[in-house]
Amino acid sequence: MMSEEQAQPEQQAAQPKKKVKIIQTLGTRKMAVARAIARPGNGTIIVNGKPLELMQPEMARMKVQEPFIIAGDAAKSVDIDVNVTGGGPIGQADAVRTAVANALVGFDRKLKPQFMAYDRTLLVSDPRRTEPHKPSRSSAGPRRHKQRSKR
């Protein structure tokens, strides 16, 4: 004979579980790569394990907040966790901005025209990269040559 404690988990398993919508996005800028995971929640944003409010420098934080300002109330129902590596602080901020905007569009397709009208780089990563340095003068730069006298 089964006790009540053993019968209860069977009843819970019989009920269909709700699927939680989880969206993974990627944002890049120069050498920075940001990976964002978005799930339904109450609007918290975590960047590399810290809340967005603690992100420094302030200019980078303001760049990252742009998608949330444009999205308005739609952003308050999504929790986003971002992991960003490589590049400098501003490149990382642009990468996070792109990843977050794509995650918000994944939850609400109506935001895409608003983001595109504001700035295309919110949804599309900037493809430009630095030119590799050439041999024998690599510390001077990719196109630097030795100075020549014309006379």
pLDDT digits (tens, 9 = 90+) for 1-44: 555 555 555 555 567 777 888 999 999 999 999 999 999 999 89
Where are the alpha helices (H) located in 15-134, listed in sequence order?
A: 58-71, 89-107, 111-118
How many whole angstroms separate alpha carbon 103 and alpha carbon 24? 7
What is the domain partition of the chain in residue ranges? 21-122
Please tell me the distance from the alpha carbon of residue 11 to that of residue 90, in angstroms, as a whole number. Answer: 52
Cα–Cα distance list, 98 to 44, 50, 92, 125, 132 (Å): 17, 18, 10, 7, 25
75-101 tens-digit pLDDT:
899 999 999 999 999 999 999 999 999
CB atoms within 10 A of CB 70: 18
Q: What is the pLDDT of residue 139?
A: 81
CATH T-level topology, domain 21-122: Ribosomal Protein S5; domain 2 (3.30.230)
Q: Are 30 and 129 in contact (CB under 8 A)?
A: yes
